[in-house]
Amino acid sequence: MEELLVLDYEGKGYFSHFRYGTWRIAYLNHAPMFTKEGITYLERHNETDEVFILLEGEASLFMGENATEVVMEKFRSYVVKKGAWHNIVVSEDAKVLIVENADTGKSNSEYLPFSFLNF
């Protein structure tokens, strides 16, 4: 059916799934870098908000320079505002949908070294 595109992602980590105009949809699945032991930085996007929606499993957003934990609930939209430090930790069975500007990346984001092991 040419009028419908059905997409999924079963791999590990972040995958930019679909782009249209100025926005993109991505999936984020479990990967070692999205565990408390694997986080090496917090990030902030200087030109866009970012939306996270937990579809399966468990996930927590860690917000601000102090990495305050926000436990996510399934099917709720979590809008991380432009310029807010954040990162995410997910369970092995997690699937998170992300909506953001298509050009979000290293050129318009900042990274703050971080480790829960040293916190």
Instruction: List beta partners, residue 86.
Output: 43, 63
The pLDDT of residue 115: 84
Whole-number Å distance between alpha carbons of 8 and 6:
7
* Distance, CA of 119 to CA of 109 (rounded, Å): 23
pTM of the model: 0.90
Summarised one tens digit per residue, pLDDT across range 55-74 is 999 999 999 999 999 999 99
The CATH number assigned to the domain with range 13-118 reads: 2.60.120.10
